[in-house]
Amino acid sequence: MLKRFKVVAPAVLAVAVALPAGVAQADPTPAASPAGTCDATRTSPVYHGKVPTPKSVLGFDLGEREVTTAESDTLLTAIDRASDRVVSGTLATSGEGRPLKYAIVGTPRNIRNLGAIEASIKLLRNPLTPAPAARVLAGKTPAILWVAGNVHGGEESGTDAALKTLYELAGRDDCAAGRILDNAVVVILPTQNPDGREADTRRNAYAFDMNRDWFARTQPETDGKIELMRKYPPQLFIDAHEMSGTEYFFPPNADPIYHDIAEPTVDWINNTYGSAMIAEFTGRGIPFFNRDVYDLFYMGYGDTVPTAGFNAAGMTFEKGNASPIADRTFEQWLTQWVSLSAAADRKTEILTTWHRMYADALKQGIEGHLEPNKVYNPGNEVITQVPDRRVRHYFLRADDPAKKAETELVVRRLQRMDVQVFKLTRPLTVRDFKPYGRPEAKTTLPKGTYWIPLAQGQKHWVQAMLNEDTYTPFPYFYDVTAWSLPLLGNVSGGSSGQVLLPAATPVRPVDAPSARLSTSRAIGVLQLAGPEQNANESTGWLRHRLDRDWKLPYRVLTPADVAAGRLDGLDVLLVPDGPAGAANTTLGEAGRAALRGWVGGGGRYVGWAGGAQLAALAGVSGVTLTEPASDVPGSLLRTTVAEGPLSEGVGPDVMQFYAYDLVMRAADPSHVVAAYPAADSPDWFLSGFALGAEELGGTAAVVDEPVGGGHAVLFAAEPNFRAFTDGTAKIVANAITADLPTARARAAVTPVPDASRAAAAIPDREPPIRVTVAAADRDGVAAVLNGFGAAWTEQGAAGGAVRFVVANPGGLDPHEHPWAAKLPGALRAAGISPLAVVLPH
């Protein structure tokens, strides 16, 4: 018998909700003094002496030098063994086999009753829990507060401070520590990136920036962390970083802020925690700034995902790395302690509001209401508003067997953030169905279609993951502006604002799909430069895809290896992004001739971005590449795909991730595999921010060029961005495994001088800083950049604007760059309203 499911959360509660058996309640005689008589940071610590000091375990005090990963684990374990306030565990194992150790600290009774606390928090997270019952639960249940450090391996002090916080909570008996312990359990994850910490690199062993991986969870370090967060959902999540300089950053954040997050979370961030730290740092005379540089927009950060996915106050903390380790450790600890204390002071209010946010999300979903765009900082204006259209449901088509793995991966990612997903048990006619990037039309969705109603507690996360567009509210970009899961995966679907009650059943938890490839071809990966170059990141994403997803063996080569004649035995050469000019110089004429001879003799060259440029420089390809005039900081654009071996399982179109990439034109139109449609075509569709992207219309995104007996398959942009652009990654997979028709075999290839000369005119592109302004602001921007001692080139931009491309030797990100973080504020102080500001990411 078919069952009909209302659009509600699964557990319907009685009006009176009893506390789960064994749940910890607030101690009747708390150690903390009444609020106002116990200063959080100036109360003299009182240690009970039962927990070993850091110096007794490590041989030095925290803050004397940076701890190693092993020392961090040793200290955490020693504190756990000595204290009945602490329990610890391992949430994941890193790529190089290191454990990610965590500790949970609270009163002994709370630690004994963590299971009951989980049950109470689950009731508070349920939007159907009646408000009176939620208030009772909020008064008797401790808050769950997280402290995490060192997601970037070279930003060490967050770890040292988190260990100090753990020691202080486990070892002190004074009122300041007692107030936190009586009102919260604190989850402490000292290092989120042990491999990067040991190597002193920003990224992990696969060169992933794990502060960009949160929604996709491609890395085990990220995945294990979020699974633990699902068990212990936070109301506060502290993510401790370092940046250049000596100042400290804590929120309020810069604009833009993603539109569909619960408004009370922003209030907590700005007015509960931000205000408390402003008062503390001002009183101590410690330099700090806020409302600048670090936004709350892209759903891959350690602040945005806790905020949108868990209704927590996600907090990015950044301490200047030019300060001594003692200062860094102290200031990181200070922000942690002040934030934990502020949460403890307002625990009941916070938990009551936390429940109300889930209830409000359910109500918004029932009404089909999307939150509007806002700006939060004086002087800023909204440039794009969320469309005035009801959205009550999202649907994912499941009737294309070739996309089964990609569709199930989207569903799995939703389920593993506690989103309710259903499957239609009979066809459903939807009057206003809006396919992604297409007009509304009456549509009958077949049985088996996945249905994701917005009427659920996770409504904000559903919108963040299944949106058609992010509706960027303000033209400043710390990172990318598009990340919709169906668009990244090339999964068909769409939305509806209609009131519907479909015949549907809940979807059981979806297992991780296997993307294993099978081929007998021998594969090489040509890395264009060493770890200090951006090639390492693109190559790392590829290595991850080959190792973990496709499970294909490969051999890594350098340009020097090619020049030395080491292509023998390879059938496919994958060439990811990197500095093509430098690689071409290393190749020399011998290497270029070897590459041409290998491809002409039947080899398959598959390159993208810098790898495509190298193909032109080496005379392997006749494509023409030019610098873009548009401003596209990281968006998704539809490309139309020609039927053929490379389109197997892809379909007639696929979304391409694009971020200031080269514009590619094929020497022969018949070689084009995927192309951007004309900007006035019904097929034109862009998700994210862009100015002047129309210049891409009619140009090639992917070409397959017969070269003697082999092929050059070239992508103008990165097809495997952060290993989550699964739609275009499938074309890469086809380029490895498919049988491609060959032209007449020749021993070598004739170089294409025009293509080589055009490619040579394009400089190697370590991630620059970009500022685009109206022509009238040109001199003002030049003055600001001169003030920083910057070097730049100017380019024409769309609509007669001017773009400044600022050199960034070494490809430094804003954390590391000496002044990039100060640029937005300097432009604002000069009275300049940029059309776009893009910091390197």
* 704 and 646 Cβ atoms separated by less than 8 Å: yes
Measured CA to CA, the distance from residue 835 to residue 476 in angstroms comes to 8
Q: What are phi and psi of 149, to 5 degrees?
A: -130, 165
pLDDT for the residue numbered 764: 85
Least confident of 1-5, 371-375, 405-409, 655-659: 1-5
Both tokens of residue 464? 């963040």
Identity (one letter) of the amino acid at 593?
Answer: A
CA distance readout (Å), 358 to 75, 138, 309, 392, 642: 38, 14, 11, 16, 45
Contact 215, 299 (CB under 8 A): yes
Do the Cβ atoms of 322 and 155 come closer than 8 Å?
A: no
pLDDT per residue as tens digits for the range 419-458: 999 999 999 999 999 999 999 999 999 999 999 999 999 9
Check the CA dihedral 356-357-362-366 and report its sign. Answer: positive
The 3 state secondary structure assigned to 654-711 is EEEEECCCCEEECCCHHHEEEECCCCCCCCCCEECCCECHHHHCCCEEEEEEEECCEE
Bridge partner list, 182: none
Mean pLDDT in residue range 457-485: 97
Confidence at residue 28, expressed as pLDDT on a 0 to 100 scale: 33
Confidence of residue 533 (pLDDT cuts 50, 70, 90): low
| Closest to 297 (Cα-Cα) out of 218, 212, 366 | 212
Calpha distance 658→506 (Å, rounded): 36
171-191 average pLDDT score = 98
Average pLDDT over residues 492-519: 95
Distance, CA of 140 to CA of 19 (rounded, Å): 8
Share of the chain above pLDDT 90, in %: 86
- pLDDT, tens digit, 9 for 90 and up, residues 656-666: 999 999 999 99
Contact (Cβ atoms closer than 8 angstroms) between residue 767 and residue 840: yes
Q: In this predicted structure, what is the pLDDT of residue 329?
A: 98
Q: Calculate mean pLDDT across residues 311-321.
A: 98
Q: Where are the beta strands (DSSP E) in 295-376?
A: 313-320
Coil/strand/helix, residue 443: strand
Contacts of 670 (CB under 8 A, 6+ apart): none
What pLDDT digit, counting tens, does each position of 76-101 carry?
A: 999 999 999 999 999 999 999 999 99
**Average pLDDT rounded to a whole number, residues 698-721:** 97
pLDDT 10s digits, 789-798: 999 999 888 8
- The whole-angstrom separation of Cα 736 and Cα 750 is 24
Mean pLDDT, residues 311-325: 98
In whole numbers, what is the pLDDT of the chain averaged over residues?
A: 93
Q: How many CA atoms lie within 13 A of 205 on its CB side?
A: 14
Query: By percentage, how much of the chain surpasses pLDDT 70?
Result: 94
Confidence (pTM) = 0.94
3-state secondary structure 36-105: CCCCCCCCCCCECCCCCCHHHHHCCCCCCCCCCHHHHHHHHHHHHHHCCCEEEEEEEECCCCCEEEEEEE
Answer whether 700's CB lies under 8 Å from 626's CB: no
pLDDT band at 744 (very low <50, low <70, confident <90, very high): low
Tell me the three state secondary structure of residue 435. strand
- Integer Cα distance of 807 and 788 in angstroms: 12
Amino acid type, 627 = E
Total residues belonging to the chain:
841
Instruction: Say whether pLDDT at 645 is over 70.
Output: yes
| Domains of the chain by start residue, with CATH | 54-362 (3.40.630.10), 393-506 (no CATH), 523-625+664-673+699-760 (3.40.50), 769-838 (3.30.70.120)
DSSP state of 620: S
Rounded Cα distance between 450 and 415, Å, is 12
Whether the Cβ atoms of residue 503 and residue 7 lie closer than 8 Å to each other: no
pLDDT mean over 466-484:
96
Burial of 745 (0-12, 13-18, 19+ CB in 10 A): exposed
Sign for the pseudo-dihedral over CA of 201, 305, 293, 762: positive
* Element at 131 (helix H, strand E): helix 131-140
Please give the pLDDT value at position 24: 42
- Residue 752 pLDDT more than 70? yes
The whole-angstrom separation of Cα 569 and Cα 559 is: 16
Task: Answer for the pair 277, 240: CB distance below 8 angstroms, yes or no.
Answer: no
Q: What angle do CA 178, 179, 184 make, to 5 degrees?
A: 100
Helix, coil or strand: residue 770: strand
> pLDDT at residue 318 above 90?
yes
Averaged pLDDT, 357-365: 98
Measured distance CA(245)–CA(816) in Å, rounded: 9
Query: 750 or 700: whose pLDDT is higher?
Result: 700
| pLDDT of 754 over the 90 cut | no
Residue 105 and residue 169 in contact, taking contact as beta carbons nearer than 8 Å: yes
Place of tokens 């390492």: 536
Pairing type for strands 700-707 and 672-675 reads antiparallel
Q: Of 580, 588, 574, which Cα lies nearest the Cα of 526?
A: 574
**Rounded CA Rg of the chain:** 27
Q: Which residues sit opposite 88 in a β-bridge?
A: 103
Reported as a pLDDT band with limits 50, 70 and 90, residue 748 is: low
Please check the confidence at residue 27 and state whether its pLDDT lies above 50: no
What pLDDT is stored for residue 36 in this prediction?
Answer: 53
Whole-angstrom distance, CA of residue 315 vs CA of residue 146: 10
Position 824 scores a pLDDT of 85
Q: What is the dihedral of CA 413, 417, 422, 423, to 10 degrees?
A: 10
Mean pLDDT confidence for 501-507: 97
Q: How many helices and strands (H and E) does the chain possess?
A: 25, 32
Closest CA to 409 of 495, 465, 489: 489
Distances (CA, A) of 580 to 509, 620, 756, 760: 44, 13, 12, 9
Given a cut of 90, is residue 820 above it in pLDDT? no
Token pair 């500095």 is at which residue? 579
Of 143, 189, 204, which is closest to residue 340 (Cα–Cα)? 143
CA distance 94 to 97: 5
pLDDT in tens, 89-135: 999 999 999 999 999 999 999 999 999 999 999 999 999 999 999 99
Is the pLDDT assigned to residue 158 strictly greater than 50?
A: yes
pLDDT of residue 743: 64
Query: Measured in Å, how far apart are the chain's first and last C-alpha atoms?
Result: 53
Distance of CA 482 to the CA centre of its chain: 11
Cα–Cα distances in Å, from 808 out to 538, 593, 598, 791?
18, 32, 35, 9
pLDDT of residue 16: 35
Residue 3 pLDDT: 34
